[in-house]
């Protein structure tokens, strides 16, 4: 069937043909591998895939457009980490209570362990931080080192620093292990005062933070720059969260009205 005045199928017609062909090939493949007699097309949707990408993007905090390498790290953290059962209580599809097709068995039955997992000795100060939080602190520490150019803050080692090396475009330096421990301690002071998802109110905010961290040995400029940057990121994250809540509220009001 052709549209009048056109000698070849239009793009939407080609899309329909490709979708139909893909559905036929999917049925043939599932029938060959699992003996499936039919496919309920209403259950074929990409909501699960979109939710998955949403989770991966959310793992980066304010940086929600990961490059391929960052996606790899976030995917590894998601697969190996402890995650919630459901990302959202709301959906636009019915609950799928049909039994799952045992794909994992056929994919992993031939796998054999080829090595023993290595053991890692994490520093005591870093045990409370997950991988992504530490990577973020390392990124900020690299910026401070590059900004202030204090030799005592930078590492003299030539070993690779994964996250710094991957992100560095000329504006980062590799922090020393001593300075990283200092950054972790300063981050603890910030969280003790502001909590994990808020910001303290009152006068002399920065002076109070500096007073609480006076026992931490660090150049005053580096300490101030870290606390100011940490405060900026927290406020930016809170503003983004409030905007998302307002947008969600307007969406539900529009649906219910």
Highest mean pLDDT among 24-38, 47-61, 169-183: 24-38
68-111 pLDDT per residue, tens: 888 888 888 888 876 655 544 555 555 555 555 554 444 444 44
24-52 pLDDT per residue, tens: 999 999 999 999 898 888 777 777 788 88
- Alpha-carbon dihedral angle through residues 199, 204, 207, 208, given to the nearest 10 degrees: -60
Query: What predicted TM-score, i.e. pTM, was given to this entire model?
Result: 0.43
pLDDT of residue 86: 52
**Partners of 175 in the beta sheet?**
154
With b for 16 or more beta-carbon neighbours within 10 A and e for fewer, the 27-57 pattern comes to eeeeeeeeeeeeeeeeeeeeeeeeeeeebbe
Backbone phi, psi, residue 203, to 5°: -75, 160
pLDDT band at 61 (very low <50, low <70, confident <90, very high): confident
Instruction: Give whole-number Cα distances, 132 to 70, 73, 104, in Å.
Output: 10, 9, 28
**In the predicted model, what is the mean pLDDT of the chain?**
75
Query: What does the alpha-carbon distance between residue 231 and residue 228 come to, in Å, rounded to a whole number?
Result: 5
107-141 pLDDT per residue, tens: 444 444 554 544 444 454 444 456 778 878 888 88
pLDDT of residue 21: 92
């Amino acid at each position: 069937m052709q549209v009048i005045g056109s000698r070849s199928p239009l793009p939407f017609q080609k899309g329909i043909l490709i979708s139909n062909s893909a559905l036929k090939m999917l049925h043939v493949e599932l029938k060959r591998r699992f003996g499936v007699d039919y496919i309920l097309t209403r259950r074929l949707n990409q909501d699960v895939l979109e939710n998955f990408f949403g989770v991966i993007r959310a793992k980066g905090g304010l940086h929600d457009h990961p490059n391929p390498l960052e996606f790899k790290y976030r995917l590894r953290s998601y697969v190996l980490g402890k995650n919630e059962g459901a990302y959202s209580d709301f959906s636009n599809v019915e609950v799928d209570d049909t039994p799952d097709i045992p794909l994992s068995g056929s994919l992993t039955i031939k796998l054999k362990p080829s090595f023993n997992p290595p053991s890692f000795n994490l520093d005591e100060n870093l045990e409370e931080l997950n991988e992504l939080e530490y990577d973020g602190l390392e990124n900020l520490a690299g910026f401070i080192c590059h900004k202030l150019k204090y030799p005592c803050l930078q590492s003299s080692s030539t070993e690779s620093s994964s996250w710094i090396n991957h992100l560095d475009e000329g504006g980062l330096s590799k922090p020393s292990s001593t300075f990283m421990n200092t950054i972790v301690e300063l981050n603890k002071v910030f969280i003790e005062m502001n909590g994990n998802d808020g910001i303290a109110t009152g006068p002399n905010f920065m002076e109070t933070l500096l007073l609480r961290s006076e026992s931490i040995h660090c150049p005053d400029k580096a300490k101030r720059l870290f606390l100011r940057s940490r405060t900026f990121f927290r406020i930016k994250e809170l503003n983004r969260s409030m905007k998302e809540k307002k947008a969600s509220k307007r969406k539900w009001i529009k649906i219910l009205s």
